[in-house]
Amino acid sequence: MDAFLFQVLAGLATGGIYASLALALVMIYQATHHVNFAQGEMAMFTTYIAWSLMDAGLPYWPTFLLTLMVAFLLGVAIERLVIRPVEHAPVLAVVVVFIALLVILNSVTGWIYTYTLKPFPSPFPEEPLWGIRYMSPHEIGAIGITLLVLVALYLFFRFTPLGLAMRAAAQNPQSARLVGIRVGWMLALGWGLAAGIGAVAGMMVAPIVYLDPNMMGGVLLYAFAAALVGGIDNPWGAVLGGFLVGVLENLLGAFVIGNELKLSVALVIIVGVLLVRPSGLFGTVHVTRV
């Protein structure tokens, strides 16, 4: 029984990692209707920026805020400079640009910082909280931060005119222009915010998996699966999806089919869920009228 509980807790901890990146994916999807494959690498890159700032002697929280700003600007700049020129290209051409961004960021980071593992500090205490040994204080704290981001995101999309305008611009750019929304800037803003959320994810993930250029490589698939299983247009769903994937994978690995196949089987289950509920567990059902 203990073993089961411990696996669940460990699963929640890794699920938190997936959830945080899944949120960034939801953000960019809400704003642009694209799934940005370079999201993880952008998060990784901005985490290195944070590392550099701290290496230069800046304390944690100022670094955190500064990194968010840098990430936001980076996101806006990437949209304006790299994505804008392929605005009208076929979707898959845009996907290729995402892939290009992924490899460029990965490679450039390795070049600048080398591939050697770097420890990344946590803002949370070292000693176990409430006697829980199976989730470190950082893991608990990171989940807390992810939930905070989630609430902020939810409020932003649900209740602010800007959030509404961003969703509108992504869904139907033509109509959005016709109500006076500056669609171009909405997309750039979406990129900026997604990059910011990614930076938070990176800074929360790095203390757990350590900082290296391939830090996010494995996480992307999980985050993508989490976002879809929860519903790509629903930030709550994405976070729940993250936890679900984390726990499911651990339980499968520990008790059902062993570690070698746990990823494959977890993915089969997720795809199975999507077959039954094509909009994810918590996503909006899309209606098309002919």
Residues numbered 243 to 272 that lie near another protein (CB under 8 A) are 249-250, 253-254, 259-261, 263-264, 267-268, 270-271
Dihedral angle over CA of 105, 97, 23, 203, nearest 10: 10
Q: 137-159 and 161-171 are packed helices; what angle lies between their axes, rounded to 10 degrees?
A: 80
How many angstroms separate the Cα of 284 from the Cα of each of 148, 156, 201, 278? 22, 18, 25, 10
Closer CB to another protein, 52 or 172, in the complex: 172
Q: By CB under 8 A, is residue 153 in contact with another protein?
A: no
| Span 30-69, contacts to another protein by CB under 8 A | 35
Shortest separation between residue 100's beta carbon and another protein, angstroms? 4
Q: Beta-carbon neighbour count of residue 208 at 10 Å? A: 17
Query: Is residue 75 within 8 Å of 46, Cβ to Cβ?
Result: no
Among 194, 225, 240, 245, interactor with another protein by CB under 8 A: 225
Taking CB under 8 A as the criterion, the residue among 69, 148, 155, 179 binding another protein is: 179
Q: Which is nearest to 54 in space by CA: 196, 211, 201? A: 211
What's the min distance (Å) between Cβ of 155 and another protein? 15
Q: Residue 57 or residue 289: which is nearer to another protein going by CB? A: 289
- 156 sits near another protein (criterion: CB under 8 A): no
Residue 160 interacts with another protein (CB under 8 A): yes or no = no
- The values of phi and psi at residue 118, to 5°, are -125, 135
Question: In this chain, which of 65, 117, 152, 256 binds another protein, going by CB under 8 A?
Answer: 117
Least distance CB 24 / another protein (angstroms): 15
Residue 175 as a binder of another protein (CB under 8 A): the answer is: yes
Binding-residue total with another protein (CB under 8 A): 98
According to the binding rule CB under 8 A, does residue 6 interact with another protein? yes
Closest CA to 25 of 243, 282, 228: 228
Sole binder of another protein in the list 54, 58, 214, 281 (CB under 8 A): 214
Asked whether 230 and 18 are in contact (CB, 8 A), the reply is no
Give Rg (Cα) of the chain.
19
Question: In the set 228, 239, 240, 244, which binds another protein (CB under 8 A)?
Answer: 228
Rounded Cα gap, residues 46 and 142, in angstroms:
17
